[in-house]
Amino acid sequence: MEKESDQNFGQWARKYPELGTGPVPIEPCVSPEHFELERERIFKRVWLNVGRDEEIANPGDYYVKDMAVWGTSIIVMRGRDGKVRAFHNMCSHRGNKLAWDTKGNCRAITCKFHGWSYDTAGRLTGVPDEKNFFEFKRADHGLTPVATDVWEGFIFVHLDPNPKETLREYLGEVADQLEGYPFGQLSTRFTYLADERVNWKVLLDAQQEGYHLPVLHRRTFSKTIVSEESATNAYRSVAMRLYKYHRMLATSGVGDQASVLTPIETLSRRFGATTMAAMGGGTYTGNAKTVLTGSFDFWVIFPNFVLALMEGTYFTYNLWPQSVAHTLWEVRTYYPPAKNAGERFSQEYAKCTLRDPLLEDGGVHEKVQSMLASGARSHFTFQDEETLLRHGHHVVAEFVK
Amino acid sequence: MSEQLLPSQFEDLEHFAAAWSLPTERARSRKRLSSPMSEIQAFYDAILPQAPVIIDYLNGFSLDEMPVRERCLFNMLLSLAEVANAVELFKEPGVIDGFDPERFTPMHE
C-alpha cells in the first residue's frame, strides 16, 4: 500500500505522539462494569451541559431533566433574582418527586404529597401543619442543590455542590477560544431525540472523525466536504486540537461546487445558512461572517457535549448514557430567528439536511454496538484522521483508572 | 365542490394541498415516507417552479399571524423542504440504510 507522498502523512499522530498509533481496546464500550466506573468517576465528577439559558428566559421558568447517569432527576430554574440554579427534583420531606411535568413557570413549587412548597431559589417557604414537627427549622430543609453555572448561555451542572474545578477552569482553552461566539443571536432552536441501543462512546466516535464522510455520507454531507476532483476521495481535517479533556477538529469544505447546488439548496441559500452551505463554506445571503478555523468546527466538550459550529447556524449533541448499550442522543440545531416565510423555509430545509445525514449515522450505531458485543474482536484500529477517537478513549481511561 | 384551501392565484396547486399541507415536521416526514416516489416527484415538480413566487408572496405576511389560506400554502412549502432530499439526493422516499425515523423524534413542530 502506497503511503501518502507528501509530508502530511501521519500529521496528527506526529502532533500528538503521546497517544501512540497502536490498537485501542473495545472492552470499555461493551462492559457493564466499565460503564459503572464511568458513571462514578466521570459523569458524577465533571460539569455536564443541560441546555441553554434561553430555555428559561424569565424568572420562575424551569425545566426538568432526567439525569439517568446520575440516577436522579433535576429541576433547572431561573430564580426571581435572575440566577440560574439546579436542584434534585425531590421534596426534602419524604422524597416525593416535586415537578412531574417537563417545563413550566412558577412562583413557588409545591409537593403534591403533603404540600411543602419552595421558592424559586430552592428555599422552603411553606409547610402545612408545621407546628406538629419537632424542633423544626425551615432553613434546614431547602431543596438539595447541584452546582450550576452558565458559560456563553450554556447551562452546566455538577453533581457535587462544591466542585473542585469551576466551570471556567474545566472548559479551559475551549472557553478561551469560543468566548464571544454569537450563540445568543442564533436563538431559534429545534430539538431531536433519538433513543439508541448503543454505548455513548460508540455513538460519539461515529461522529468525531471525517474518515467516514466519503463512504457513509456519499449521498449527503460528503458532497459539500470532500471535493469530487480529489484524486483519493479522502477526507482531511484542516486542524485538530487536543486539550486535557476536550478536543476539536476543523474541516474546510468545497464551497459552491456545482454538485452541491441542487435546486432547493440553491433556493434556500437565498434566505439563510443551509446545512450544506454552512458546512462546506459556501455562500448565502444575509448574515455577517464570524471567525472559524475551518468552514465546520467540531468541538467535543468532555464527556458528552458537542458544539458543531458553522457560519450562520450551529448544532449540538448531548449524549445521555442510560446503560452500557443504551444512549439518548439529543440533537439541537440553532438558527437566527426567522423574520419571514423564506427564512423559515430555508431553516426547514437546513434541518432536514442535517436530520437525514444523521439518520445515515444512526443506521450504523446500533449495528456496530451489536457486533462489538459479540466479543469477536478485542481492539479497534484507528487511522490518523481518527485521532480524536484515540484521545477520547485515552481521557476516559485516565478518569477510570 | 370541496372547500378552497389555498390563495386563489395558486389554484393550480390546490389538488396537492389536502395531502401535503401539514403542520408539523413529523407529519410531513411521515407523508414523505409513506408516499410512492411518483407522488413525491409530482408534488416536487409542480411546486418547485413556483416556489420563488410563493416565497415572495408569503414574505408579505407575518409568520405569527398568517391567514388560513396563506398558512396552508406555507405548510405546503415546508413539505417541499421535507421532500427535497428524497428527490435530489436519495432518489427514493427514505434515507437509504438509515436509522428508523420513528425513533429519531422531533421535539418541535
SS (H, E, C) chain A: CCCCCCCCCCHHHHHCHHHCCCCEECHHHCCHHHHHHHHHHHHCCCCEEEEEHHHHCCCCEEEEEEECCCCEEEEEEECCCCCEEEEECECCCCCCECCCCCEEECCEEECCCCCCEEECCCCEEECCCHHHCCCCCHHHHCCCEEEEEEECCEEEEECCCCCCCCHHHHHCHHHHHHCCCCHHHCCEEEEEEEEECCCHHHHHHHHCCCCCHHHHCCCCCHHHHCCCCCCCCCCCCCEEEECCCCEEEEECCCCCCHHHCCHHHHHHHCCCCCHHHHHHCCCCCCCCCCCCCCCEEEEEECCCEEEEEECCEEEEEEEEEEECCEEEEEEEEEECCCCCHHHHHHHHHHHHHHHHHHHHHHHHHHHHHHHHCCCCCCEECCCHHHHHHHHHHHHHHHHHC
> Among partner residues B25, B88, B101, which is closest to A264 by beta-carbon distance?
B88
> Among partner residues B84, B88, B104, which is closest to A359 by beta-carbon distance?
B104
Taking CA–CA distances from A329, the nearest residue in chain B reads B104
Q: In this predicted structure, what is the pLDDT of residue B67?
A: 98
Q: In this predicted structure, what is the pLDDT of residue A260?
A: 85
Determine contact: B71 vs chain A, CB below 8 A: no
Determine contact: B23 vs chain A, CB below 8 A: no
Q: In this predicted structure, what is the pLDDT of residue A4?
A: 54
Q: Is the peptide bond before A321 cis (omega within 30 degrees of 0)?
A: no
d(CA A55, CA A51) in angstroms, rounded, equals: 7
pTM for this one?
0.95
Report domain extents, chain A: 22-45+174-400, 48-164
Q: In this predicted structure, what is the pLDDT of residue A75?
A: 98
**Chain B CB contacts of A363 below 8 Å:** 95, 97-99
Helices A341-372 and B51-58: crossing angle in degrees, nearest 10, is: 120
Q: Is the pLDDT of residue B90 over 60?
A: yes
| Residues B47-53, mean pLDDT to the nearest whole number | 98
Cβ contact, residue pair B58, A340, below 8 Å: yes
**CB contact at 8 A, A281 and A311:** yes
Q: What is the ipTM of this complex?
A: 0.98
Q: In this predicted structure, what is the pLDDT of residue A287?
A: 47
Cβ-based burial of A55 (10 A; exposed 0-12, middle 13-18, buried ≥19): middle
**CATH class of the domain whose range is A22-45+174-400:** alpha beta
Give me the residues of chain A with pLDDT under 70, please: 1-6, 229-231, 284-290
* Residue numbers of A between 264 and 293 with CB closer than 8 Å to B: 264-265, 267-268, 271
- CATH code for the domain defined by A48-164: 2.102.10.10
**Chain B CB contacts of A342 below 8 Å:** 55-56, 58-59
Residue to substitute from B80, B89, B90, B92, interface A, most A β-carbons within 10 A? B89
> Among partner residues B61, B77, B99, which is closest to A363 by beta-carbon distance?
B99
Q: Provide the pLDDT confidence category of residue B1 given band limits of 50, 70 and 90.
A: low
**Chain A CB contacts of B108 below 8 Å:** 189-191
Cell of B36: 410512492
Return the sign of the alpha-carbon dihedral for residues A390, A391, A396, A397.
positive
Determine contact: B105 vs chain A, CB below 8 A: yes
Summarize pLDDT for B60-81 with one digit per residue, the tens.
999 999 999 999 999 999 999 9
Q: In this predicted structure, what is the pLDDT of residue A286?
A: 53
Q: In this predicted structure, what is the pLDDT of residue A158?
A: 98
Cβ-based burial of A240 (10 A; exposed 0-12, middle 13-18, buried ≥19): buried
